[in-house]
Structure 1
Amino acid sequence: MTTLGLIGSGHIGSQLARAAVAHGYDVLVSNSRGPDSLSELILELGERATAGTTADAATADLVAVAIPLKDVQNIPADLLGGKIVIDTSNYYPRRDGTIAPLDAGEMTVSEFVQAHFADARLVKAFNHIQAPAITDDAQSAGTAERRALIVAGDDDDAKKIVSGFIDAIGFDVLDIGPLSASWRIEAGTPAFGPRRDREELEIDIAQATRSARH
């Protein structure tokens, strides 16, 4: 895997692009405003970066969806069929409007995203880290107390590939299971936000409790 496609160039998307380029990946960046709006970011990222459309980004080896949850359904459902997709989504009703199955706890945020991209190989990741920390907290493999990030997903091979990417850009990885378990690191849970090494992250995940919102 050599190319990362970004659907979304906001705080998380642009930081993932910076981290990927810094560690030898090519990136293809897109947003809702079109390639011309990305000229400044592409200039910063250098020769490994290209601006394109959402459809262009979807052709990459690995695709990250880094847009507000309310905008996910504006992307054609079949665009990411068969693709390994990193879902960075979080649910904020004030921003996204109310989503009944999420409010009722009937599905996790990533199960909601997977239901839209039914044929994608979806992996939850990067939803619980603040954007600047994607570059600021990165450390080499083997560093003591290296920060850890979760993956969750129903496709083990896809999780391995995403885990490899996470490790390559500077973080340990904790697999917390299927998408149905990803409520353990949604907004409001102990692991959502703070810096944690792998052992600390395991404790936070285990201590999470589920309410109607989680």
Structure 2
Amino acid sequence: MPHRPQDKNSEQPMSTTKIGIIGSGNIGQAIARLAVAAGTTVAIANSRGTASLADVVEELGDNAHAATVAEAAEYGDIVVLAIPLSAYSDLPTQVLANKTVLSTGNYYPSRDGRIEVLDSLKSTTAQLEASLLPGARITKAFNNIVAHHIPLLVNSAPRTALPIYGDDLAAKTEVLELVQALGFDTVNAGTLADSWRAEPESGGYTHVYAQDPANFYSAHLADRGQPVTIAQLEEAFATAHRSDVAARQF
């Protein structure tokens, strides 16, 4: 298991990093709200077009605007991808080349279909995403927490930690600093190859933040979450076992 330095944040300054967010579902919107609250400007996009985002950007306020997917990719110093794997083929790969990209997604066969390279454990989801976006500096974060826990646990006491994965040190540092500015502690959790520890059914997946882990999967929307410290998240990763991805149904 790789060394994981503790990247703590107590009182971080407001972030001036521009964020492009592709995907306006629950995770995309949750991150957009945190970014705007942290003083960051946001361009948000989805596959349905800018008109469909009118209510979202009105709620977010003056620091957010609707964009096309290509415009959001161009706008962001960091580009957040909150989209299914099937949507990667529609991304503007040339624009994203040399960009720092924060992927929030997971592999769900019920949605994505069966993907042999993932089922066979030849690749983590993050490694597959990197292969689909040549030249992009892929990092992984926010994929191991359910969307409604994000606003419940931001700036919690004690401060809740999220793992960050990546192969590019500079890109990972950018994302560590951003996530800290958004209101979370961070764990530098290793490379994209290590990111299975935060994938579904692993020791570091969503249930680790549950207030009631025993009933979380049967009633997760009712769960109000509980803070998870760096040490607690480290412990979850230390005891994690890679799941049988080929048997995954959801």
Quick check: TM above 0.5? yes
**RMSD over aligned Cα, in angstroms?**
1.3
**How far does residue 212 in structure 1 lie from its aligned partner after superposition?**
4.0
Structure 2 CA distance for aligned equivalents of residues 213 and 202 of structure 1? 22
Structure 2 CA distance for aligned equivalents of residues 108 and 211 of structure 1? 11
Match of 1:205 among 237, 242, 245: 237
Q: Any unmatched runs of 5+ in structure 2?
A: 1-15, 210-227
**How far does residue 78 in structure 1 lie from its aligned partner after superposition?**
2.3
SS in 2 for 1:150: strand
Greater relative contact order structure (CA < 8 Å, 6+ sep): 2
Query: Which aligned pairs between 1:19-168 and structure 2 lie closer than 5 A?
Result: 19-59=34-74, 60-139=76-155, 143=157, 145-168=158-181
Q: Tell me which stretches of 4 or more aligned residues in structure 1 moved more than 6 Å.
A: none
**How far does residue 76 in structure 1 lie from its aligned partner after superposition?**
3.3
Are residues 1:183 and 2:196 paired? Answer: yes
User: When the two structures are superposed, what TM-score results if normalisation uses the length of structure 2?
Assistant: 0.82
Structure 1 equivalent of residue 25 of structure 2: 10
Q: Any unmatched runs of 5+ in structure 1?
A: none
Structure 2 CA distance for aligned equivalents of residues 161 and 122 of structure 1? 11
Q: Is the 8 A contact 2:101 2:138 kept in 1?
A: yes
Structure 1 CA distance for aligned equivalents of residues 40 and 79 of structure 2? 12
Q: Is the 8 A contact 2:27 2:147 kept in 1?
A: yes
SS in 2 for 1:78: helix
Report how many residues are paired: 211
Structure 1 CA distance for aligned equivalents of residues 192 and 112 of structure 2? 20
Q: Is the 8 A contact 2:24 2:46 kept in 1?
A: yes
Structure 1 CA distance for aligned equivalents of residues 58 and 236 of structure 2? 39
Deviations 1:138-189 (A, max 9, x none): 117xx5x311000010011111110111111111000111100001110001
Q: Is the 8 A contact 2:73 2:92 kept in 1?
A: no
Identity percentage of aligned residues? 41
Structure of larger gyration radius: 2
Structure 1 CA distance for aligned equivalents of residues 60 and 114 of structure 2? 36
User: When the two structures are superposed, what TM-score results if normalisation uses the length of structure 1?
Assistant: 0.95
